[in-house]
Amino acid sequence: MGGKKKKVRVLMVCLGNICRSPTAHGVFQHRIESAGLEEIIKVDSAGTGDYHVGEKPDKRARTAAKRRGYSLGGLRARQVQAEDFERFDYILAMDDNNLRDLTTLCPKPFRHKLKLLMDFADNNYSAVPDPYYGKGDAFELVLNLVEEASNALLEHIKTHDLNG
């Protein structure tokens, strides 16, 4: 990876930015740091709704993440802003409903940046299911899916964005 290194910015998006997207944010941040790429790859998270702006991630999400060595404590919910569509290279929705909402909000020249996070995973899930009303292991499933997708996303970025 010689020459000038391009910065890559990734935005994880769910509905309220208190469960899935902060979990994805924390897991992907950990992957970036483990790879020594924190100066090159930046990650953030946001919600399509404004229900929880300013709040910490859901306690169950923080607890499940902490058990696996991820920290979500410093994150605060925010809503997707118009400038996010220009600023981020990858805008990754957790499910089809959020992808549809993002597509509605996103100016046409930036729609190519919109994808589902699970597009990067090799499993039978097309979406990260919302654990908010689920049973206790719902947050573990979110972590399993997000970990797999984060690994593949990092490899994709290293191959397609950092080697060019």
Residues 128-138: pLDDT tens digits?
Answer: 999 999 876 99
- Whether 14 is in a domain gets the answer yes
- Whether 111 is in a domain gets the answer yes
pLDDT digits (tens, 9 = 90+) for 77-124: 999 999 999 999 999 999 999 999 999 999 999 999 999 999 999 999
Q: Do 91 and 102 touch, CB atoms closer than 8 A?
A: yes
Return the H-helix or E-strand segment holding 137.
Answer: none
Tell me what the pLDDT averaged over the chain comes to.
95
Confidence of residue 56 (pLDDT cuts 50, 70, 90): very high
Query: Residues 13, 17, 22, 28: what is their CA dihedral angle, to the nearest 10 degrees?
Result: 10
Confidence of residue 1 (pLDDT cuts 50, 70, 90): very low
Q: Which domain holds residue 26?
A: 8-159
- Whether 22 is in a domain gets the answer yes
Active site residues: 14, 20, 130
Return the H-helix or E-strand segment holding 21.
Answer: helix 20-34
- Whether 1 is in a domain gets the answer no
How many angstroms separate the first and last alpha carbons of the chain? 8
- Whether 68 is in a domain gets the answer yes
What's the number of domains the chain is made of? 1
The beta-strand segments (E) located in 94-151 are: 114-116
Confidence of residue 163 (pLDDT cuts 50, 70, 90): confident
- Whether 115 is in a domain gets the answer yes
- Whether 164 is in a domain gets the answer no
pLDDT at 2: 47
Query: Structure tokens of 3?
Result: 């020459």
- CA 28, CA 36: separation in Å to the nearest integer? 12
Confidence of residue 164 (pLDDT cuts 50, 70, 90): low
The CATH number for 88's domain is: 3.40.50.2300
- Whether 12 is in a domain gets the answer yes
